[in-house]
Amino acid sequence: MGQTADEMSHYLAEAIRRSISYPAALPRHEEVVETTAQLRQYLTRLLPAAEAHVDNMVRGTPEWHHARALVDAAHRALSGDPGPGLRSAVLHMQAVGRACHHLRGVLPQPASSRCPQCDYIRADRREAEQGRNTEAMRDAATRMGVHLREAHP
């Protein structure tokens, strides 16, 4: 495959963003078809690396179960079809986009490409999730959004 999560092109990142957003009006059919095709292609290339990574994880741990569930969800998204209408096609596009988005988080990033501030905020969020502290989770998500806008345009 040769492509890691951090090497994903800007266009695919934008396609994922478009696919998982909730616009007020449905997008054009052509846009849905194009975005879905590109996301499916990316997901097909990403899955083998994610499966290999999950296979190398310690089986039975919470991290393994989470990663395995995301890989399984990606397979389900790929096996689905857009259905007969625009609304079902949009729902399918969103499912494939979410699978891409979540699967990117399964793959390890090289240490050289990781942002220490992102790692710090992620650790805060994980700690808040483990403590079931919704206020701290919301705070970490807000800080991450601000940081991503400012440091990773």
Whose structure tokens read 């040769």?
2
> How far does Cα 124 stand from its chain's mean position?
19
Token digits of residue 82:
């857009």
Print pLDDT tens along the chain (153 aa). 444 444 455 666 666 776 666 666 788 889 999 989 999 998 999 899 899 999 998 898 888 999 999 999 999 999 999 999 998 999 999 899 889 888 887 777 665 567 778 878 888 888 888 888 888 888 888 888 888 878 776
**36, 92 in Cβ contact below 8 A?**
yes
Token digits of residue 149:
């806008």
Following CA atoms 17, 147, 143, 6 in sequence, which dihedral angle do they give, to the nearest 10 degrees? 50
Q: Is 23 left (phi over 0), alpha (psi -120 to 50) or beta?
A: beta
Expressed in angstroms, the distance from the first to the final Cα of the chain is 26
CA 119 – CA 113 distance, rounded (Å): 11
